[in-house]
């Protein structure tokens, strides 16, 4: 008759014995080989990605992101205009909320949006530093002490493979931020930090990631990592109005002109990565409308994108609450939506210019 | 073209082990991922979904275990001569021309034999047919116990041979049937010899083709493996028994699943059985959905009955292999329950927005692919032990039909559990060409609910995450799998390939 039953038992035991090394050793090897050959080859080269010439991208950040696209849809419906960029914020750390937001990015990509992630190197969310920002945090990063985290992001960015705007360590002279000068970080350390982060992404083959550098003050050139390492220069434009220290209402053109003149000759194209106004001491709807008019009149030809900071919760330097959202003043969005000519400059198309 | 399976050479065995080993490793790989990942959500749903998925995986493992023992036995002529009787039954209402053909074919068997027609209706025309062909007509109109009762009556009062062939009246034997099989009875431990059941009406309809396809693997690698384990089962339609074996268990069992119970009792009594992959008879397979469902209902009810009421009685007398085999055979039709879960859980999950698991879709696929590839490879590989070239093809028809029989299996389970008496009726041999939407009401319900669940998710979910996409995929797959059989139940003209009465 057939083979003896004990051969079947022996065969099953042999398979069990083989299973362990096969999955524990073999599977990582196969996955690594797949990543190195296939996944990396599928990454989109994003260098030079920009709006078609003469056009600008319009984007926004909203509190619903990244969990939901609802806020973006609502804004698009009000403006009667599709957005090109969806912007949200991620802090560094060990928890799940600090991981690379793969699903969100895939949803955004499916929706036709270019994601902009402001990536904040807070070290206090790593278990190692137990909730405290260590002094000289940029040096710690540059020495490679959180490279596992950086590499995980870089590899996930490769897996994502589609163009992505990444803004690590924005506003490096803003005293609120743990990577700023206030925490004992020097411009030299900042540049080394930037070069190190970028080198990890380059080494993993994340050609799809575009690095956005954003100054805080008007004299932050010393913190600029160099045109070779920066794809976009971002400008954050805020009018605190009556809540500012001087209590003066400043229009979009005035603020932007100062930044523009400081940074337009660095090399990379410019993008307004955050723009919002208070309603204290002036008219929010007018400020916003004038912003669009100013861009429409091509006052700043090197600025190729505008990302609205449509967030209700903000703070002044003195800790006073400030509502940056468009809807704080009723009718702001609707009046924009009623004037399509304000958007003639804007597109959600993507092209390449070298 | 008939295929004669050869004994396994070294190359066959190495390939077989490779295929089985690959599948087994695939099961471990998926099982580890499924049970030891962080992705579990709701424990009750997770348990239900696990049952539904791992039911099928367990069946694959059992199949691979059986395939390990594949032993194609050659046909064997006997060194000595046996007295042989052939018993076939007639019930009122069965078509007369069928008996003309079957009895003529039986009488053409070259080996010396006596033939008995056990006539439950005591039909005058059959009496005359028997007289003309030299068949002994036995009046069984007052015999209780359906087919098996008549057989036992005949064994007690008319037949006295050493070897008994029990054959259904729709099965036409080949003339060399006994020259190919009797040799196996020279081993005095062999209680019965089973041969292939082929079908001559496969081309009649989609259902006939698919129902036949469900048996290709069984009358091939499965039975050959069981034969290697010494536990091939008897099939009521065409089994050759040693009379002494039947006598040792007080005759053929009287039961809804009489053939399965007979082999259980014979194996419990210590008899061995042999399967010869030789296409000894050719019969009818249900060609319309109604008769197919009826047949499957009868079988599933019978198997659950056996599991619940007969298996415990015989348990202590079985050897280890028989214990395992009849447990697996008795639970075979639980797949109706597993299918029920795979049909309704996605609907439930999508409407209530609950999750049993939440895997990244790509990881789920990566871990499932080796198992699925193992199943596909073994399916294709063991086709070399099928007994006809026309059987070697992609078995999508039988998959679709089996999936669509879930409600019948569930009814069978309920009947078995409730001990509700189900009257024994022979499987109808005639064909029903009416539209029978009532047969597939559950399918229509499932299709409707699945489609609405997918639409519901698309329209109301804020974000389609991987768990949702997976459930939408399952719901869509269920629709696709149920659609063909549902369609032919409502539009029977798509079932039939030959005009009425052509086969």
Find, among B26, B8, B27, the residue nearest to B16 by Cα.
B8
* Cβ under 8 Å to B: A residues 57-86: 67-70
Q: Which of B276, B463, B465, B470 to mutate to test the interface with A (most CBs of A within 10 A)?
A: B463
pLDDT at B362: 81
User: Is a pLDDT exceeding 80 seen at residue A54?
Assistant: yes
pLDDT at A182: 85
User: Cα(B344)–Cα(B471) distance, rounded to whole angstroms?
Assistant: 11
Q: Which of B5, B10, B28, B467 to mutate to test the interface with A (most CBs of A within 10 A)?
A: B28
User: Is a pLDDT exceeding 50 seen at residue B427?
Assistant: no
Query: Residues with Cβ < 8 Å from B21, sequence gap 6 or more?
Result: A11, A15
Segment A244-254 mean pLDDT: 93
User: Is a pLDDT exceeding 50 seen at residue A201?
Assistant: yes
pLDDT at B428: 47
Segment B255-277 mean pLDDT: 94
pLDDT in tens, A101-147: 998 998 899 889 999 999 999 999 999 998 898 988 999 999 999 99
Segment B347-368 mean pLDDT: 86
Find, among B387, B386, B427, the residue nearest to B290 by Cα.
B427
Q: Considering only CB atoms, which residues of chain B are within 8 Å of chain A?
A: 17, 20-21, 24-25, 28-29, 32, 65, 68-71, 225, 227-230, 321, 360, 462-463, 465-466
User: Is a pLDDT exceeding 80 seen at residue A189?
Assistant: yes
pLDDT at A74: 93
pLDDT in tens, A204-235: 999 999 999 999 999 999 999 999 999 999 99
pLDDT in tens, B309-341: 999 999 999 999 999 999 999 999 999 999 999
User: Cα(A231)–Cα(A210) distance, rounded to whole angstroms?
Assistant: 6
Segment B252-273 mean pLDDT: 93
Segment A68-78 mean pLDDT: 92
Residue B68 near residue B225 (C-beta atoms within 8 A):
yes
User: Cα(A251)–Cα(A236) distance, rounded to whole angstroms?
Assistant: 14
Rounded to the nearest angstrom, the gap between the alpha carbon of residue B123 and the centroid of all alpha carbons in its chain is 32
- Backbone phi and psi for residue B375, each to the nearest 5 degrees, phi listed first: -60, -45
Rounded to the nearest angstrom, the gap between the alpha carbon of residue B251 and the centroid of all alpha carbons in its chain is 24
Percentage with pLDDT > 90 across chain B: 76
pLDDT at B503: 45
Query: Residues with Cβ < 8 Å from B51, sequence gap 6 or more?
Result: B338, B341
User: Cα(A275)–Cα(A309) distance, rounded to whole angstroms?
Assistant: 5
pLDDT in tens, B160-216: 999 999 999 999 999 999 999 999 999 999 999 999 999 999 999 999 999 999 999
> Six-digit token pair at B102?
């079957």
Looking at per-residue pLDDT, the higher value among B359 and A183 belongs to: A183
Nearest CA in chain A to B361: A103
User: Is a pLDDT exceeding 50 seen at residue A354?
Assistant: no
Residue B157 near residue B88 (C-beta atoms within 8 A):
no
* Cβ under 8 Å to B: A residues 106-145: 107
Q: Mark yes or no for CB contact B28/A16 under 8 Å.
A: yes
User: Is a pLDDT exceeding 70 seen at residue B416?
Assistant: yes
Supply the ipTM of this predicted assembly: 0.81
Residue A204 near residue A151 (C-beta atoms within 8 A):
yes
User: Is a pLDDT exceeding 90 seen at residue B502?
Assistant: no
pLDDT at B500: 62
User: Is a pLDDT exceeding 90 seen at residue A184?
Assistant: no
> Six-digit token pair at B190?
């062999």
User: Is a pLDDT exceeding 90 seen at residue A2?
Assistant: no
User: Is a pLDDT exceeding 70 seen at residue B422?
Assistant: no
Question: Residue A24 CB: number of other CB atoms within 10 A?
Answer: 9
Residue B346 near residue B450 (C-beta atoms within 8 A):
yes
> Six-digit token pair at B276?
């010869």
């Amino acid at each position: 008759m057939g083979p003896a039953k004990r051969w079947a038992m022996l065969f099953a035991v042999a398979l069990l014995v083989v299973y362990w090394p096969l999955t524990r050793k073999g599977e990582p090897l196969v996955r690594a080989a797949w990543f190195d050959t296939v996944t990396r080859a599928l990454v989109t080269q994003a260098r030079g990605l920009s709006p078609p010439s003469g056009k600008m991208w319009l984007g926004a950040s909203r509190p619903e992101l990244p969990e939901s696209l609802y806020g973006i849809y609502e804004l698009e419906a009000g403006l009667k205009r599709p957005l090109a960029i969806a912007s949200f914020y991620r802090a560094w750390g060990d928890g799940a909320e600090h991981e690379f937001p793969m699903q969100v990015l895939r949803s955004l990509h499916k929706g036709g949006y270019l994601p902009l992630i402001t990536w904040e190197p807070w070290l206090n969310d790593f278990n190692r530093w137990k909730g405290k920002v260590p002094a000289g945090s940029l040096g710690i990063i540059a020495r490679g002490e959180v490279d596992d985290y950086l590499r995980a992001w870089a590899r996930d960015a490769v897996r994502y493979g589609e163009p992505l705007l990444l803004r690590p360590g924005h506003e490096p002279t803003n005293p609120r931020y743990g990577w700023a000068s206030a925490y004992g970080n020097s411009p030299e350390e900042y540049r080394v930090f930037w070069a190190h982060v970028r080198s990890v992404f380059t080494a993993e083959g994340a050609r799809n990631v575009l690095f956005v550098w954003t100054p805080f003050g008007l004299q932050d050139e010393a913190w600029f990592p160099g045109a070779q390492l920066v794809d976009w220069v971002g400008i954050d434009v805020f009018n605190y109005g009556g809540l500012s220290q001087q209590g003066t209402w400043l229009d979009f053109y005035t603020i932007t002109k100062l930044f523009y003149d400081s940074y337009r000759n660095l090399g990379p194209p410019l993008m307004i990565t955050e723009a919002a106004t208070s309603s204290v001491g002036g008219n929010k709807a007018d400020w916003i409308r004038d912003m669009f008019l100013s861009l429409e009149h091509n006052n700043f030809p090197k600025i190729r994108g505008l990302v609205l900071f449509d967030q209700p919760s903000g703070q002044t330097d003195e800790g006073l609450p400030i509502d940056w959202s468009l809807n704080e003043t009723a009718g702001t969005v609707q009046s924009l939506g009623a004037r399509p000519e304000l958007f003639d400059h804007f597109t959600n198309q993507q092209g390449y210019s070298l | 073209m008939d295929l004669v399976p050869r004994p396994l050479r070294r190359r066959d065995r190495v390939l077989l082990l490779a295929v089985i080993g690959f599948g087994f490793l695939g099961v471990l790989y998926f099982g580890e991922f499924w049970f030891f990942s962080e992705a579990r959500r709701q424990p009750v749903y997770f348990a239900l979904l696990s049952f539904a998925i791992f039911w099928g995986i367990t069946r694959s493992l059992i199949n691979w275990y059986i395939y390990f023992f594949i032993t194609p036995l050659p046909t064997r002529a006997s060194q000595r001569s046996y007295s042989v009787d052939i018993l076939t039954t007639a019930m009122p209402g069965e078509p007369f021309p069928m008996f003309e053909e079957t009895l003529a074919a039986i009488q053409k068997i070259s080996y010396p034999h006596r033939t008995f027609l056990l006539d439950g209706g005591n039909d005058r025309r059959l009496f005359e047919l028997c007289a003309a062909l030299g068949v002994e007509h036995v009046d069984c109109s007052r015999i209780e116990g359906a087919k098996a009762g008549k057989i036992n009556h005949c064994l007690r009062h008319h037949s006295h041979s050493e070897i008994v062939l029990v054959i259904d009246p729709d099965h036409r034997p080949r003339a060399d049937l006994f020259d190919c099989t009797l040799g196996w009875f020279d081993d005095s431990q062999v209680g019965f010899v089973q041969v292939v059941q082929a079908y001559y009406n496969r081309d009649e309809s989609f259902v006939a083709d698919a129902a036949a396809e469900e048996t290709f693997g069984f009358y091939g690698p499965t039975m050959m493996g069981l034969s290697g384990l010494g536990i091939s089962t008897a099939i009521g339609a065409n089994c050759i028994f040693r009379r002494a074996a039947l006598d040792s268990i007080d005759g053929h069992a009287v039961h809804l699943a009489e053939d399965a119970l007979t082999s259980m009792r014979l194996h419990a009594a210590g008899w061995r059985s042999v399967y010869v992959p030789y296409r000894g008879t050719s019969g009818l397979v249900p060609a319309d959905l109604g008769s197919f469902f009826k047949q499957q209902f009868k079988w599933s009810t019978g198997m659950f009955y056996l599991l619940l009421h007969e298996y415990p009685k015989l348990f202590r007398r079985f050897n280890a292999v028989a214990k395992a085999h009849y447990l697996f055979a008795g639970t075979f039709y639980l797949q109706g329950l597993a299918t029920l879960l795979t049909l309704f859980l996605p609907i439930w999950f999508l409407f209530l927005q609950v999750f049993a698991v939440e895997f990244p879709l790509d990881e789920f696929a990566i871990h499932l692919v080796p198992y699925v590839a193992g199943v596909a490879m073994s399916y294709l590989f063991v086709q070399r032990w099928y007994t006809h070239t026309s059987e070697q093809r992609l078995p999508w028809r039988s998959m679709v039909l089996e999936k669509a029989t879930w409600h019948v299996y569930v009814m069978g389970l309920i009947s078995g559990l409730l001990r509700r008496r189900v009257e024994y009726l022979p499987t109808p041999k005639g064909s029903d060409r009416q539209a029978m939407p009532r047969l597939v009401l559950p399918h229509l319900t499932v299709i409707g609910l699945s489609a609405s669940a997918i639409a519901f998710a698309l329209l109301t979910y804020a974000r389609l995450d991987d768990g949702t996409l997976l459930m939408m995929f399952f719901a869509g797959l269920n629709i696709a799998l149920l659609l063909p059989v549902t369609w032919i139940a409502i539009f029977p003209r798509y079932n039939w390939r030959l005009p009425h009465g052509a086969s």
